Amino acid sequence: MPPLSHLSTTTNSETAPCKTLSLRSRLQIGSALVGAAMALTSPVMASTPPHCGLADRVVTCSGFHPGTIDYVNGADPVTLNIAADAAIETSLDNAGGLHVSTQNGEVSVNQNGDIVTSGVRANGIFLAGLGGAISVTNNGSLTTYGELARGIATARLGDHTVINTGDITTNGAQSEAVNVLAESGAVRILNAAGSSITTHGDNSSGVWSVGLRGDILIENYGDILTSGRASHGIAAIVYERDLSAIIGGSVQTAGAGAAGVSLQNYVGDITAVIGSVSVAGQGSVAVGVNTFSAGKVDLSTSGTISAALGSGTRAVSNLGSVTLRNSADVVAQDLGLQVYAANVANIANSGQISTTAASAHAIEGRNLSGALTILNTGSAATTGLYAIGLKAETESGTIVIDNQGLVSTTADLANGVQAVSIDGALDLTNSASGQIITLGDQAYGLNAQSQSGAIAIDNRGVITADGYAARGISVSTGSDQFAAAHGDVTLTNRGQISTTGDQAYGILARATRGDIIADLSAVATAGTYSDALNILTSSGDIVLDLSGQISTQGTDSQVVEASTTSGKIDIRNAATLTTTGDVSAGLSIHALTGTIKIVSTGAISTAGLESAGVVATTMGDVSITADRVTTTGDRSTGIRAEGINGVVINANAISTTGQGGLGVYSRSETGDVSVTARTVHADNLAIFATSTAGDIAVVTRGEVTSARAGAIYAVTDGAVRLDIEAASVLTSGAPSVNSTAFSASPASVGVSTVIAQGATVTINNAGTINQGGRSTISARGEVMLSNSGLITGNVDFSGGDAIINNTGRFALSGVSNFGGGADRFVNTGLVTTQGRATLAGLERFVNAGAIDLGNGRADDVLTISGDYEGQGGRLVLDVDAGAAGGAAYDQLVVGGSATGTTTISLNYKTAARLAPGEVLKLVDAAGGSASGAFVMAPGATNIGFSRYGLGHDAVADDFFIAVTEGDAVFRSLKLSEGAQSLWRQSAEAWSAHTAALRDPTEGAPASGRVWGQIYGAVDKRDETLNRADQAVDLSYTQDHVGGQMGFDMGRLGETGMTYGLTGGYVSSTLEFRDKADRADYKGLNVGLYAGAQRGRVFVNALAKYDLIDIQARSATAGYDEDLDGHGYGLQVETGARFNRQFQTRSFFFEPLVSLAYSRTDLDNLSAQGAVIDFEALDGLRARAGARLGGAAALAQGQLAYYLGAHLVQELAGEDGVRFISGAAAKAFDNTAVDAYGQYQLGVTFTSNSGLSGFVEARADAGDNYRTYTGRIGVRVSF
C-alpha cells in the first residue's frame, strides 16, 4: 500500500485545484483494490486449530494460537469470534493474527482476545473479499511490531464497519492501526470511548481509510496517539461519495508531517465535527480537510487544537464551498485556522487562537468567488513577522468580516485584520465588543484592499496600532485603473482608534475612482507624520461626517488630510478636533478641480507651529462654515481657503494667538470671495480676503481683532463690500502689515484696521471700528462708507470718488486723506475728535447731525479742507475759561466756505466762565461764507452771568463769540421786585381790614377789636428785555400765601382817631417762565396803623417793617444762594362814604385814593466769580377808585356786599443792580409795572354778638401784569 503522505492535504498555504477523476482512473483504483483482496486470499490455507469450532455459521476461537488463524468462505455469511481467553501470536513475516477471505458473503469479526504479530506484513486482523459487507469489532488487544503490519486491515467491494473498543498498537513503519479500503461500499470506523489507538512507526496513521464509491464515516471518542513521521492520527480519502467525521476524545501525533485529522474527498462533501487534536511534529497540521471538486466542506472544531511546530486547522474545497465553525482553543506555530474555497467560505471562531511563526496567520480565509465570511467572537493572536490576525482574500467574491472578539499581533508587518479582493466587495466590522491590537512596525489594525470592488468598514470597538508606519485602518480600492467598475469606500467609526508610532495614521483610505464616504469619531495618533484621517481619491467624491474627539500629537500630523483630483469633498464636522504638533492642521482638505464644502459645528484647536485650524484648496469652489477654531502656535492660521472659482466662509468664533497667526485667509483667482464672521481674534490679520477678478463680500457680527495687524484686508480688481453689523467691534494692533500691497499713502503705512481695494468699495458699519496704528480705514477705488455705528480714527482713500454717510458716531483723529475725486462727507449722526483731526482732500462736508468736540479737553481742532454745509446740524465746542494764559477753546477750520445753518453749543471744562468783553474765534473759514451759517444754541447763550453772542467777521470769514452780560444778571432785577411785593401783600391785607370796618354801617365800634386774615395771591408779569443782540425773557409767576393779625387798640381822646398794632407772615415763590431760575421768600412784618373818620370822610395810615429771607436758585447762572433783606414803608389812604336807603335796603358808594411808599434792600449775591449788588428799591404806588355796595339786615346781624374798581399806577420802582465781574462793574435798572386796573368783589357780615368777617376776591389786570388774590378776614369786638 502506498504511504498516505502523498494523499494528505497539502501543507502549503495554497492548494491547487484538482480535476474530477476520470473513469479510467476509477477503474484502475477498483482493480487495485480487488487485486489486493485476491492476493491476500491466495496463501496456502492452514488447518483450522483445534480451539476453533463451527456452529451455525459462527466460528469461535479460544485458547492460545501460535500461528495465523485463516478463514476462507464463499458466498455464505459467517461470524468469527475470538474469545476473550484467546491469544494469537505470530512471529513470521506475512503471518497475521487473523486472516479472513470470502467471495461475496458477509463477514463479521468479534475480537475479544489478544493478538500479537512480529513479522513484516503481519497484520493483526485482515479481511478481504470481492463483495458483501464486513464488520470488525475489536474489544480486546491488537499489537503488531513489524513493518507494514496493520492492526486491522480490510479490503473489499462491500460495506465496511470497524469498531474499536479495546486497544490497537502498531510499532513498525507503514503500519496503520486501522486501514480500511472500500471500492463501492460504505465505511464506518468507530474508536469508542475508553479505547485507544497507538502507532509508533513512520507513515503509520492511527486510522486510515480509502473509499472509491462509498461514504465514509469516522467516529472517535477514545484516544488516538501516533509518534512516527507522517503518521496521521486519522486519515481518510473518498473519491466519489461523502466523507463524515465525528472526532471526540483525544487525537495526538508527535512525528513530523503527521496530521492529527486528515480528511480528503475528490468528488463529494466532507462533514466533520472535531474535538481536541494535538500535533507536535514539524510541519504537521492538526486538522486538515480537503475536497478537490465542487464538494462542500462543513467543519466544526472544539476543545483544544495544538500544533507546536505546525498548523492548527486547514479546510479546503477546490471547487466548492467551506464552512468552518471553531470553538476550540488553537495554539499553533504556523497557521491557526485556514479556509480555502472556490465558492462560498464561512468561518466562525469563538475559540482562542494563537500562532508564533512568521506569516502564521491566526485565521485565514480565501476563495475565488462567492461570499467569504469571517465571524470572530473569540481571540486571534499572532507573534510572528507578517502574521495576520484575521486574513481574507478573494478574487471576485465578497468578503464579510465581523470581529466581536480580540485580535492581536505583536510583530512587524503583522496586520490585525486584512481583507484583499480583486474585484469583490469588502464588508468589515469591528463590533462594540471587538478589539484589534497591533504592536509591530508597519502593522495595520484593519487593512482592506480591492482592485475594483467596494469596501465598507464599520468599527464600533477598539483598534490600537503601536508601531512605526502602523495604521489603525488602511483602506485601498480601485488600483486596477483599467477595470470597468470602480469601488466606493464606506467608513464608519463609532469605537476608538489610536496609533502611537511615527508615520502611523489612524485611518488611511484610498480610492482611485470611487467615492469615500465616512462617518467617524474617536481617532487619536501620537507619532510624527501621523494623520488621524488620511483620505484620498483620484476622481471620486469624499463625504466625511465627524463626531466625538479626534486628535493628533506629533509633528506634521493632521487630524484630517483629504484630497481628490476631480471629485468633490463634503466635510460635516461635529467632533472636537485637536492637534499639538507643529505643521499639524485640524482639517487639511484639497481638491484639484472639484468643490469643497466644510460645515464644522465642533471645536477645532491646534497648538503647534504653522498648524492651521482649517485648510481648503481647490481650483473649484470652497465653502466653509466653522463654529469654533483655535490656534495657539506661531504662524498658525485659523481658516485658510483658496478656491479658484470662489470662496464662501462662515466663521463663528476664530482665535489665533500665536505670533503671525491669521484669523481667516481666503483667496480666489476668478471667483467671488464671501466671508461672514462673528468673532475673530488673531495675532496677524483677522480677516484676509483677496481675488484677482471676483467680488469680495465680508460680513462681521462680533469682535474682529488683531494684536499685530489689521482686522480686515480685502483686495480685488472687482467690487468690495464690507458689512460691519451692530455687534461687531473691529480692532487692529501693531506691528504693521505691509500696506504697500495696494499703493498705500503715507497716512496708511503701518496698521490699518480695515484695508480694502477694488473697482468699488462699499463699507456699511453698524458696529465699532477702532483706530489703527495709522489709519482706521484704508480704501482704494470708488468708496462708499456708511456708518451707523462707531468709527474711531481716520481714513485713507485714493483713486476715485469717496462718499461717507455717517448716521452713527465718527470719532476722528489724525489726518484723513480723501485723495482725488469728488469726495463728500455727509453727517446726520455724530462726529467727534480725539485731539486735532484733519479731513484732507475732502471737497464737501455736510452736517445735518452733530460735530461734537466737547470731550472735556479744550484746544481740539477739526480741519475740513473743502466746503462746509450745515443742514440744521450742531457744533459742540469745549471752552476752558480758566486756562492758564487765557481761555482755551475748540475750533472748526473750514478750507472753503460755510453755508447753511449750524447751531453751536459750548461745553465748559471748568466752573470758570468767560467774562463779558472776551472774544473767541470758533470757526475759521476761508471765504464766501454765509453770515448765518452758524448760530448759538439757546442753551449755550447764557452761561453763568455771561451771554455768548455769535458774530461773523465777513472780511476774515470768521465766526466768533462776543461775551456780554447774561440773562441771570437781568433776572436778578426781579429778585428785589419780588421782595418788594411781600411788603405790599401785607399792607393790602391791612387795607382790606380797614375797608371791612366801614361795612355794613357807619359808626361801628372803633376799639376793642382783634382781627385776623389769611390770603393767597398769584402775580404774573410778562416782560422781555430787548438789547442790541439780546432778548431776555424776564417773565415770572409769583405765588403768595400769608396771614396778618391786628389789634385795634383804642381812640385818641375826642379827636376821632383810632390806632392799632399789626403783624404777619408771608411765604412766596417767584419762578421765571423757563423754570430754570426761581426764588423762595419768607417774610415777617410788624406795623402800626391809625385811622380817623369825620362825617363821610375817612383817613387811614400804616407804617410797617418787613424782615425777608430769600433762597435764590439759578440753573442758568449755576448758583443757589441764601440772601437776607428787609423792607419798610408807609401807606396812606383817604376817601368818603356815601350811604343811601332805598325802600328797605341800604346802599353805599365809597370813593378812595391811596399812596404807598416802600423801600426794599437785599444783601449782595456772590456766585460764579461775580457779584450782584442790589440797589435799594424804592417803590411809590398810587391807587384811585371806588367801591359800590349794599347792605341787608339778617336775623342776627347785617350783611354787606360790594364791588370795587381802582386804577393803580407805579410812580417809582426803577432802581436796579450793579453787576461786578472782575474789575469791571456795570449798573442795570429795573422796569416798573405799568398802570393796571384793580377789581374787587366782597361780602361783609356783622353779627349782634360782636363777631364779624369778610370774604374778598380781587383781580389786577394790566398790559403785561396780572394778579389774582383771595382773602378771608374775621374780627371780634369786645
* pLDDT tens profile 160-211: 999 999 999 999 999 999 999 998 889 999 999 999 999 999 999 999 999 9
List 1133's β-bridge partners, or say none.
1100, 1154
Give the single-character DSSP code of 24.
H
Rounded mean pLDDT of 710-737? Answer: 86
Considering all CA atoms of the chain, what is the largest pairwise distance in Å, rounded to the nearest integer? 207
Rounded mean pLDDT of 398-421? Answer: 96
Identify whether 289 is part of a domain: no
HSE-CB at 337 with a 13 A cutoff on CA atoms is 37
One-letter identity of residue 776: T
* pLDDT tens profile 611-625: 999 999 999 999 999
29 has a pLDDT exceeding 50:
no
Place of cell 497557521: 335
Position 87 scores a pLDDT of 93
47 has a pLDDT exceeding 50:
no
22 has a pLDDT exceeding 50:
no
CATH value at residue 1001? 2.40.128.130
Rounded mean pLDDT of 1252-1270? Answer: 93
- The larger pLDDT score, comparing residue 1217 to residue 651, is at 651
Identify whether 1088 is part of a domain: yes
Question: Which residue from 456, 452, 579, 573 is spatially nearest to 506, judged by alpha carbons?
Answer: 579
d(CA 118, CA 94): 9
Of 184-193, 445-454, 1161-1170, which range is least confident? 1161-1170
Position 1007 scores a pLDDT of 52
- The larger pLDDT score, comparing residue 1191 to residue 31, is at 1191
Domain of residue 1103: give its range. Answer: 983-1277
Identify whether 1219 is part of a domain: yes
Identify whether 1218 is part of a domain: yes
d(CA 132, CA 3): 27
- State yes or no: cis peptide before 1000, omega within 30 of 0: yes
Identify whether 1157 is part of a domain: yes
242 has a pLDDT exceeding 80:
yes
Give me 1113's grid cell: 436758585
Identify whether 468 is part of a domain: no
Conformational region of residue 548, where left means phi above 0, alpha means psi within -120 to 50, and beta covers everything else: left
Rounded mean pLDDT of 681-691? Answer: 95
Position 917 scores a pLDDT of 67
DSSP letter string, 1096-1131 = TEEEEEEEEEEEEEEEEEETTTTEEEEEEEEEEEEE
One-letter identity of residue 867: D
Cα separations in angstroms, 1085 against 251, 445, 961, 981, 1063: 141, 112, 47, 13, 5
Q: Which residues contact 851 (CB under 8 A, 6 or more apart)?
A: 827, 830, 831, 832, 862, 873, 874, 875, 876, 892
* pLDDT tens profile 827-864: 999 999 988 999 999 999 999 999 999 888 888 999 99
* pLDDT tens profile 497-528: 999 999 999 999 998 888 999 999 999 999 99
40 has a pLDDT exceeding 80:
no
351 has a pLDDT exceeding 50:
yes
Position 485 scores a pLDDT of 57
Handedness of CA 15, 20, 25, 30 (dihedral sign): positive
Identify whether 637 is part of a domain: no
- The larger pLDDT score, comparing residue 151 to residue 961, is at 151
Give the Cβ contact number of residue 10 at 10 Å. Answer: 14
What is the reported pTM? 0.71
List 900's β-bridge partners, or say none.
870
Position 1002 scores a pLDDT of 42
1278 has a pLDDT exceeding 80:
no
Give the single-character DSSP code of 192.
-
* pLDDT tens profile 939-960: 667 777 777 778 888 899 999 8
HSE-CB at 1165 with a 13 A cutoff on CA atoms is 32
Position 1191 scores a pLDDT of 85
The domain total for the chain is 1
Give the single-character DSSP code of 739.
G
d(CA 72, CA 405): 60
DSSP letter string, 66-129 = SS-EEEEE-SS-EEEEE-TT-EEEE-STT--SEEEEESS--EEEEE-SEEEE-STT--SEEEEE
Position 912 scores a pLDDT of 60
Question: Which residue from 303, 243, 307 is spatially nearest to 11, judged by alpha carbons?
Answer: 307
38 has a pLDDT exceeding 60:
no
Phi, psi of 89 (to 5 degrees): -135, 130
Identify whether 1259 is part of a domain: yes
Q: What are the E-state strand segments in 1022-1144?
A: 1024-1027, 1030-1033, 1036-1052, 1057-1072, 1077-1094, 1097-1114, 1119-1136, 1138-1142
Q: How confident is residue 699, by pLDDT bands cut at 50, 70 and 90?
A: very high
Q: Which residues contact 667 (CB under 8 A, 6 or more apart)?
A: 641, 642, 643, 647, 673, 688, 689, 690, 691
* pLDDT tens profile 972-989: 888 988 999 999 999 999
d(CA 993, CA 1242): 12
- 949 near 943, Cβ under 8 Å? no
- 295 near 17, Cβ under 8 Å? no
20 has a pLDDT exceeding 60:
no
Position 548 scores a pLDDT of 96
Position 51 scores a pLDDT of 58
Position 1009 scores a pLDDT of 83
* pLDDT tens profile 1031-1086: 888 899 999 999 999 998 887 766 668 899 999 999 999 999 877 789 999 999 99
Position 1055 scores a pLDDT of 65
Cα separations in angstroms, 539 against 81, 318, 455, 536, 1267: 80, 38, 16, 9, 101
Position 5 scores a pLDDT of 28
Cα separations in angstroms, 298 against 268, 322, 337, 346: 12, 6, 14, 9
461 has a pLDDT exceeding 60:
yes
HSE-CB at 1151 with a 13 A cutoff on CA atoms is 2
537 has a pLDDT exceeding 50:
yes
Q: How many residues does the chain have?
A: 1278
Of 318-332, 391-405, 479-493, 1035-1049, which range is least confident? 479-493
Give the Cβ contact number of residue 1173 at 10 Å. Answer: 17
Position 939 scores a pLDDT of 63
Position 7 scores a pLDDT of 25
- Residue-averaged pLDDT of the chain: 88
1143 has a pLDDT exceeding 90:
no
Q: How many H-runs (helices) and E-runs (strands) does the chain carry? A: 4, 112
